[in-house]
């Protein structure tokens, strides 16, 4: 590995310099974007391996190119491990990432114009769940449901059932990228069964937490399809995966290839296989429990400081802070202030946000990455305090500089897996 680095430094100093800069940023800052994580050194090794050289259109035992002895082996391993981890009957591990995995399910089951019930973007849903700006929103007819902001973000299943009976969807979709609660999948399934709709859960954010059984598994609730990315709480390579019942295996596989994609990225598939092996180990369950405990600790400190959190708290790995209500500051400015002290978050719309997406009312924070570094409740208490101090004194440069030093000192005690310590 070190030889590759030396070679890169000589071949392309500009890219090597950017790599060193990003390593320093990751080493010296706290990552609180809930969809990010630090992957395993083993995964980095496989991603940068010769599997990247190989074309493998098709599936194990049914490929369109020769030379598949080892690619067949790794894809079969990845599929078997994914099925065991999620109690699925079938897994397709080829989607290149989250958007293609969701599109593959839609195209497998729906015709243009078909109706899908999906969660409203500002209430926590995802772009690929039919936001009007996405191609999906133009091809299919998405009808959006909201959360009950007056009831800690609960889903109103009576209302969902009424809308389902009125619109007769082909599919009911749940899943989120900024919803800080867990779902009752059986309640979604009951609504879907009433109108003969298929069910799909996009658990991209919480894939690792579902795998570790610290959050509910939609497949246990009878869902037809579950999609997840492999790089967020699962801690693996950038990629996507579709889990389903055996009865849907053929249409899903055909939808991914040749329907939507060409050659799978076999370095990613190999890295996913490694990730699933790691996720089945007891250490990963402990990690997942700590992700939740850390998020609860952040929430408790914020609430104690009268900071407004969407839904009033969290049941998962993420929190959505209403910075407009709490600090009279939009999410863009809050993100920038926290960047200055070395804490990375992202601006975030809140339910029915009156502000535009690039200057929304809040920020989103999450614990998967800092938990991977080994941070626990005491570090969460410190971080939450520093975040509140920075946002309350955003114009005090000297105070922000002192907070930045504290963040850097904290980070020096928690190495990033796969990253060499800072050069001395």
Diameter of the chain measured on Cα atoms: 66
E strands, 360-417, are 362-366
- The C-alpha angle 129, 133, 137, rounded to 5 degrees, equals 45
CB of residue 202 vs ligand DSN: minimum separation in angstroms?
9
- Is the Cβ of residue 146 or residue 364 nearer to ligand DSN in the bound state? 364
Per annotation, catalytic residue among 232, 235, 347, 373:
232
Give the separation between CA 225 and CA 346, rounded to whole angstroms: 29
Kind of pairing, strands 141-145 and 115-119?
parallel
Mark whether 57 is an active-site residue.
Answer: yes
Among 177, 227, 297, 367, binds ligand DSN (CB under 6 A): 177
Q: Which one of 29, 58, 95, 98 is in contact with ligand DSN (CB under 6 A)?
A: 98
Q: Under rule CB under 6 A, which residues in 380-409 are in contact with ligand DSN? A: none
Q: Which of residues 183-202 bind ligand DSN (CB under 6 A)?
A: none
Whole-angstrom distance, CA of residue 331 vs CA of residue 91: 38
Instruction: Report the distance separating Cα 99 and Cα 126, nearest Å.
Output: 10
DSSP collapsed to 3 states, 151-166: HCCEECHHHHHHHHHH
Q: Which residue out of 57, 182, 184, 305 is catalytically annotated?
A: 57
Question: 103 to 162, contacts with ligand DSN by CB under 6 A?
Answer: 126
CA distances from 126 to 98, 119, 191, 220 (A): 10, 8, 21, 23
- Can 55 be counted among the known catalytic residues? yes
70 is a catalytic site residue: no
Percentage helix, strand, coil for the chain under 3-state DSSP, each rounded to 5: 50, 15, 35
Least CB distance to ligand DSN at residue 164 (A): 26
User: Cα separation of 226 and 21, whole Å?
Assistant: 37
In this structure, what are the phi and psi dihedrals at residue 168, rounded to the nearest 5 degrees?
A: 45, 65
Contact 63, 269 (CB under 8 A): no
Per rule CB under 6 A, count of chain residues that contact ligand DSN: 4
Least distance CB 236 / ligand DSN (angstroms): 15
Does the annotation mark 229 as catalytic? yes
Residue 207 interacts with ligand DSN (CB under 6 A)?
A: no
Site for ligand DSN in 2-21 (CB under 6 A): none
The Cα-based distances of 256 to 44, 153, 203 in angstroms read 25, 34, 18
- Catalytic position from the list 148, 238, 340, 399: 238
Q: Among 26, 35, 39, 275, which residue sits at the site for ligand DSN (rule: CB under 6 A)?
A: 35
Least distance to ligand DSN, CB of residue 218, Å: 18
Residue 376 and residue 379: Cα distance in Å, rounded?
Answer: 6
For ligand DSN, the closer of residues 336 and 396 by Cβ is 336
Of these residues, 23, 36, 42, 55, which one is catalytic? 55
For residues 126 and 189, which CB has a smaller minimum distance to ligand DSN in the complex? Answer: 126
Please, which residue, 240 or 342, has the CB nearer to ligand DSN? 240
CB of 231 to ligand DSN, least distance (A): 10
Footprint of ligand DSN on this chain (CB under 6 A)? 35, 98, 126, 177
User: What positions carry a catalytic annotation?
Assistant: 55, 57, 202, 229, 232, 238
């Amino acid at each position: 590995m070190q030889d590759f680095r030396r070679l890169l430094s000589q071949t392309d100093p500009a890219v090597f310099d950017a790599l060193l800069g990003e390593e320093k940023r990751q080493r010296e800052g706290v990552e609180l974007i809930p969809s990010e994580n630090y992957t395993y050194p083993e995964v980095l090794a496989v991603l940068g391996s010769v599997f990247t050289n190989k074309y493998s259109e098709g599936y194990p035992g049914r490929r369109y190119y020769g030379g598949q002895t080892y690619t067949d082996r790794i894809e079969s391993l990845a599929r078997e491990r994914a099925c065991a981890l999620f109690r699925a009957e079938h897994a397709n591990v080829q989607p290149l990432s989250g958007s293609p995995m969701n599109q593959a399910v839609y195209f497998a089951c729906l015709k243009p114009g078909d109706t899908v019930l999906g969660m409203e973007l500002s209430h926590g849903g995802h772009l690929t769940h039919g936001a009007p700006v996405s191609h999906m929103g133009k091809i299919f007819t998405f009808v959006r449901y909201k959360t009950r902001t007056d009831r800690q973000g609960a889903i109103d299943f009576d209302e969902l059932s009424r809308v389902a009976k009125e619109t007769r969807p082909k599919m009911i979709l749940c899943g989120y990228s900024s919803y800080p609660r867990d779902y009752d999948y059986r309640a979604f399934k009951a609504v879907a069964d009433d109108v003969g709709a298929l069910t799909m859960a996009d658990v991209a954010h919480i894939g690792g937490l579902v795998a570790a059984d610290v959050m509910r598994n939609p497949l246990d609730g009878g869902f037809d399809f579950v999609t997840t990315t492999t790089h967020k709480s699962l801690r693996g390579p950038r990629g996507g995966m579709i889990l389903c019942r055996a009865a849907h295996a053929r249409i899903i596989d055909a939808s991914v290839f040749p329907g939507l994609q060409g050659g799978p990225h076999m370095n990613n598939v190999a890295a996913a296989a490694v990730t699933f092996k790691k996720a089945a180990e007891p250490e990963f369950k402990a990690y997942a429990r700590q992700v939740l405990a850390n998020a609860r600790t952040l929430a408790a400190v914020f609430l104690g400081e009268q900071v407004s959190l969407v839904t009033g708290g969290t049941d998962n790995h993420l929190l959505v802070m209403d910075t407009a209500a709490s600090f009279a500051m939009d999410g863009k400015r809050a993100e920038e202030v926290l960047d200055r002290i070395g804490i990375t978050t992202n601006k975030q719309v809140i339910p029915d946000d009156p502000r535009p997406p690039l200057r929304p009312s809040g920020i989103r924070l999450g614990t998967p990455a800092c938990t991977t570094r080994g941070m626990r409740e005491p570090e969460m208490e410190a971080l939450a305090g520093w975040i509140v101090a920075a946002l309350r004194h955003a114009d005090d440069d000297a105070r922000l500089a002192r907070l930045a030093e504290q963040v850097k000192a904290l980070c020096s005690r928690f190495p990033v897996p796969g990253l060499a310590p800072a050069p001395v």
